[in-house]
Amino acid sequence: MSADAAPAYGVDSEVGRLRSVMLHRPGGELRRLTPRNNGALLFDGVPWVERAQEEHDRFAAVLLEHGVEVLYLSALLRECLEFDEAREAVTVGVAADPRLGQTLGRELAAYLSGLEPERLAAVLIEGLTKEEFGPSSSLRHRMMRATEFVIDPLPNTMFTRDSSVWIGDAVAVTSLAMPARRRETTLTGIVYHHHPRFADVPKLYDPSLEHLEGGDVLALAPGVLAVGVGERTTPAGVERLARKVFERGTIRTVLAVPIAQRRATMHLDTVCTMVDRDRMVIYAPAAQRLESYTITPDGDRIAIEGPRRFLDAAADAIGVERIEIVHTGERDVVTAEREQWDDGNNTLALSPGVAVAYERNTVTNGRLERAGIKVLTIPGSELGSGRGGPRCMSCPTSRETLAN
Ligand SMILES: NC(=[NH2+])NCCC[C@H](N)C(=O)O
């Protein structure tokens, strides 16, 4: 397919020229973080919200300066909430939370149906406390503290990478593993199912299926996916996804890559990302250690080979002699570990050889530059406390195809 004939939406690589991306500018949901709840809400600190927003605006500005269309999840959501069907779906979904009980659930549904789309979208992301909600005749409400949440906030919404992922011409609304994030897919689900912009896009997956998060899914090359298996994506999730993409015919090889079930390596994209057609930035110890299983279609079944060294299996699947790697310091293990933690490997490519990275990871960025990669740096001192970099904070909806 030539670049001109490429579909308006769709993603067949990590590096084809980025045309359109979905972001979420962090807002009031970050103001809900306190030293008591930040751990459960998957933040390593309590970010300064205004500064986080400035950093995020800088990220968006770099994308816009490079001709990328920036879509905001909250704006798309608000547009969907103009439609009764979408409003009904979110209201019923939120109010059905068994922790609320019948009475509060019913009252909450009535409260939400009275909100304007803009306020409703905000409440769905920022959450709602007992005192914001107002009076209720339920026991549940009576026994809550004033600052307790009737609707939990979703501070990880800014990591749009995880709650949906485009594979070829289709989009997968994923199945998030951590309780603090699960409701995010009701928002991306609404957007992809109700927004006129995405009406004709085939849907690949849904949140009721086995756990699978977008941060684990790397489009190594047209036809080839690598999927991390660890804290967030299960072997069953990879298997389900593999069958679906084989059925659609967009993917011929899926590499399942076990990663340590640790916070530092929660997704495959915290360990490695593509910065060029056959070049990857990778945490040095992982380059040695990572292995993968190669999954290919076999009639209506799947064939599984391996495990073998991930980088070798990836080169074979892509059809190159080897994958060039830029790593985060081979000898300086302390710096490597620090920069991996600060998302030095979590870059977002805008085109082959051009990538957005956090400025703080000076050693890794220097290595990338020496390797000829153009590094566009953004600040991330506050954003980083959520443990996610430029790749985590973006969901490409359209890239120029590399398949020609
Ligand atoms: N694709 C990624 N690496 N996303 C990072 C998500 C970070 C988020 N705080 C979480 O723990 O889920």
What is the per-residue pLDDT across 337-383, written as a single tens digit (0 to 9) for each?
888 888 889 999 999 999 999 999 999 999 999 999 999 999 999 99
DSSP string, 213-241: -GGGEEEEETTEEEEEESSS--HHHHHHH
Candidates 80, 272, 392, 395; catalytic one: 392
What is the per-residue pLDDT across 171-210, written as a single tens digit (0 to 9) for each?
999 999 999 999 999 999 999 999 999 999 999 999 999 9
Does one domain contain both 229 and 82? no
d(CA 206, CA 95): 20
Q: Where are the beta strands (DSSP E) in 102-248?
A: 128-129, 149-151, 164-167, 170-173, 217-221, 224-229
End-of-domain residue from the set 106, 123, 151: 151
- Residues 363, 345: contact at Cβ < 8 Å? no
State yes or no: ipTM above 0.95. yes
- Burial of 190-213, coded b for 16+ CB within 10 Å and e otherwise, reads bbbbbbebbeebeebbebebbbbb
CATH of residue 280: 3.75.10.10
> Quick one: DSSP state of residue 264?
G
Instruction: At 78, list the tokens.
Output: 């608000």
pLDDT at 215 over 50: yes
Mean pLDDT taken over the chain: 94
- Taking the CA atoms of residue 362, residue 338, residue 314 and residue 273 in that order, the dihedral angle to the nearest 10 degrees is -50
End-of-domain residue from the set 151, 169, 185: 151
d(CA 343, CA 178): 20
- The size of the chain, in residues, is 404
Cα(321) to centroid(ligand 1), Å = 32
Residue 58 included in any domain: yes
What is the per-residue pLDDT across 87-102, written as a single tens digit (0 to 9) for each?
999 999 899 999 999 9
pLDDT of residue 330: 65
pLDDT at 2 over 60: no
Query: Quick check: CB of 127 below 6 Å from ligand 1?
Result: no
Model confidence, pTM: 0.95
d(CA 217, CA 236): 14
**Pocket probe mutation, ligand 1, options 43, 156, 213, max atoms within 8 Å of Cβ:** 156
Does one domain contain both 113 and 227? no
Task: Determine if the peptide bond prior to 307 is cis (ω within 30°).
Answer: yes
End-of-domain residue from the set 151, 173, 198: 151
DSSP string, 362-387: HHHHHHHHHTT-EEEEE--TTGGGGS
Does one domain contain both 27 and 162? yes
CATH of residue 96: 1.10.3930
Terminal CA-CA length for the chain:
6
392 catalytically annotated: yes
pLDDT at 245 over 90: yes
Give me the number of domains the chain comprises: 2
Beta bridge partners of 355: 349, 375
Minimum-distance ligand 1 atom for the alpha carbon of 386: 9
Does one domain contain both 81 and 198? no
pLDDT of residue 139: 95
d(CA 26, CA 157): 8
Does one domain contain both 65 and 173? yes
pLDDT at 329 over 80: no
**Pocket probe mutation, ligand 1, options 33, 261, 266, 340, max atoms within 8 Å of Cβ:** 266
pLDDT of residue 7: 45
pLDDT at 168 over 50: yes
What is the per-residue pLDDT across 115-163, written as a single tens digit (0 to 9) for each?
999 999 999 999 999 999 999 999 999 999 999 999 999 999 999 999 9
Angle at the Cα of 211 (from 207 to 214), degrees rounded to 5?
85
Cα(99) to centroid(ligand 1), Å = 26
pLDDT of residue 1: 35
What is the per-residue pLDDT across 247-291, written as a single tens digit (0 to 9) for each?
999 999 999 999 987 777 789 999 999 999 999 999 988 888 999
pLDDT at 6 over 60: no
pLDDT of residue 404: 66
Beta bridge partners of 351: 354
Q: Where are the beta strands (DSSP E) in 85-199?
A: 128-129, 149-151, 164-167, 170-173
Supply the residue whose CA is at minimum distance from atom 5 of ligand 1: 388
Query: Quick check: CB of 232 below 6 Å from ligand 1?
Result: no
What is the per-residue pLDDT across 15-49, written as a single tens digit (0 to 9) for each?
999 999 999 999 999 999 999 999 999 999 999 99
pLDDT of residue 252: 97
Instruction: At 270, list the tokens.
Output: 């915290």
pLDDT of residue 300: 87
Residue 4 included in any domain: no
* Run of H or E residues at 280: strand 279-282
pLDDT band at 234 (very low <50, low <70, confident <90, very high): very high
Strand, coil or helix: what is 397?
Answer: strand
* Tokens 């006129």 sit on residue: 196
Cα(166) to centroid(ligand 1), Å = 17
Query: Quick check: CB of 388 below 6 Å from ligand 1?
Result: yes
